[in-house]
Structure 1
Amino acid sequence: GRAALGFAALRGEAALHAPQRAEFVDALQRPQPRVELGIALRGLASAMLDVSDGLLGDLRHLLECSGTGAIVDAAALPMAALAASGADAALCRRCLLAGGDDYELLFTAAPRHRGAIEALSARLALPLHRIGQFTRERERLLLREADGALAAPAAYGYDHFA
Structure 2
Amino acid sequence: MGEFELIRRFFCSDQLQPARRDVDLAVGDDCALITVPQNKQLAVSVDTSVAGVHFLPDSDPYCIGWRALAVSLSDLAAMGAKPAWFTLALTLEQTDEAWLSRFAQGVSDLAQQHGISLVGGDTTRGHLTVTVQVQGYITGSPWLRSGAKPGEIIYVSGPLGNAAGGLSLLQSDIEPPDIWQELVDAYLLPRPRFDLISLLSSRISSAIDISDGFLVDLKHILESSQVGAQLDLTRIPVSDALEDYAGRRKALEYALSGGDDYQLCFTVTPQRRLELEVSAEQCDLKLYPVGVITQEKGIKGIGDYAVKGFEHFYSKEQKA
Mapped contact 1:59–1:106 kept (Cα < 8 A): yes
1:12 aligns with 2:172: yes
Moved more, 72-81 or 42-51: 72-81
Tell me the secondary structure at the aligned position of residue 127 of structure 1. Answer: coil
Aligned residues: 154
* Match in the other structure for 1:3: 163
User: How far apart in 2 are the matches of 1:16 and 1:134?
Assistant: 41
2: CA distance between counterparts of 1:41 and 1:17? 35
Work out whether residues 182 and 241 of structure 2, in 8 Å CA contact, stay in contact via their aligned partners in 1: no
Determine if the alignment matches structure 1 residue 77 to structure 2 residue 229: no
1:120-157 C-alpha deviation (Å, 9 max, x unpaired): 3212322111000111112x01225xxxxxx3632421
Q: Alignment partner for residue 300 of structure 2, among 121, 142, 154?
A: 142
List 4+ stretches of structure 1 deviating above 4 A.
none
- Identity of counterpart residues, as a percentage? 34
Alignment partners' CA distance in 1, 2:175 and 2:244: 5
Query: Which of 300, 305, 316 is the matching residue for 1:153?
Result: 305
- Are the aligned partners of 2:162 and 2:239 in contact in 1 as well (CA < 8 Å)? no
Amino acid aligned to 1:154: A
SS in 1 for 2:309: coil
CA contact (8 A) 2:253 2:305 kept: no
CA distance in 2, matches of 1:116, 1:104: 21
Unaligned runs of 5+ in 1: 145-150
> For the aligned residues, what is the CA RMSD?
2.1
Q: How does 1:47-58 map to 2 (within 5 A)?
A: 47-58=206-217
* In structure 1, C-alpha distance between the alignment counterparts of 2:179 and 2:307, rounded to whole Å: 24
The structure in which a higher percent of residues are helix is: 1
Unaligned stretches of 5+ residues in structure 2: 1-160, 315-320
After the TM superposition, which residues 47-126 of structure 1 pair with which residues of structure 2 at under 5 Å, given as runs?
47-126=206-285
Give the corresponding residue for 2:108.
none
Amino acid at match of 1:142: K
Which structure has the larger Rg over C-alpha atoms?
2
TM-score by length of 1: 0.85
Between 1 and 2, higher relative CO (CA 8 Å, sep ≥ 6) is seen in 1
More strand by share: 2
